[in-house]
């Protein structure tokens, strides 16, 4: 067994070391960190494309959460007067979801709160869209036949 391997066996796993490759008898420069910069508490630099992809995924999630209450309303109303409410429900979910990070919650809690507010926004948007659709819809054919 080589001297470096013997030393490696003597190192206890629970010992904290500042340089983990020090003392193993390896030639200098053989083991290097992948990132030569020192570790800092600064934010990790992210490209514009990655940020754009994240924002688009957020909007896709919020839109899906706005679609759920609309789907429940469409099933409950058997499809009557709910189609015009679809864009209103999704837009309300987007608005409710994006308001959370604008207000200042930009951490994991804010993400979870934005999910809840997007669903609540979808519920409000669906209710408003269905109410508007029912109000603007023409009267039933039976009522029109009675008038004639």
Q: Give percent above pLDDT 90 in the chain.
A: 53
Residue 124: its pLDDT value, please? 97
Instruction: Report, as an integer, the average pLDDT of 78-82.
Output: 90
* 7 in a structural domain: no
* 72 in a structural domain: yes
Instruction: Report, as an integer, the average pLDDT of 35-54.
Output: 80
Average pLDDT, the chain: 81
* 110 in a structural domain: yes
* 99 in a structural domain: yes
* 11 in a structural domain: no
Decide if pLDDT at 38 tops 80: no
Domains in the chain, number = 1
Give the Cα separation of 79 and 66 in Å (integer): 17
Residue 100: its pLDDT value, please? 94
pLDDT of 87-139, one tens digit each?
Answer: 999 999 999 999 999 998 888 899 999 999 999 999 999 999 999 999 988 77
* 68 in a structural domain: yes
Give the Cα separation of 121 and 130 in Å (integer): 14
Find the domain containing 131 and state its range: 48-147
Residue 43: its pLDDT value, please? 73
* 143 in a structural domain: yes
Residue 131: its pLDDT value, please? 93
If pLDDT is split at 50, 70 and 90, which confidence band does 21 have? low
* 30 in a structural domain: no
């Amino acid at each position: 067994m080589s001297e470096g391997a013997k030393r490696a066996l003597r190192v206890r796993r629970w010992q904290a070391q500042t340089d983990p490759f020090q003392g193993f008898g390896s030639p200098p420069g053989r083991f290097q960190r992948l990132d030569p910069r020192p570790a800092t508490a600064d934010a990790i630099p992210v490209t514009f494309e990655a940020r754009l992809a994240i924002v688009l995924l957020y909007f896709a999630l919020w839109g899906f959460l706005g679609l759920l209450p609309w789907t429940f309303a469409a099933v409950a109303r058997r499809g009557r007067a709910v189609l015009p409410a679809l864009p209103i429900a999704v837009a309300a979910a987007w608005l409710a979801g994006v308001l959370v990070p604008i207000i200042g919650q930009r951490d994991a809690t804010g993400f979870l709160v934005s999910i809840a507010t997007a669903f609540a926004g979808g519920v409000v948007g669906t209710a408003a869209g269905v109410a508007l659709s029912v109000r603007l819809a023409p009267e039933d054919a039976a009522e029109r036949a009675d008038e004639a």
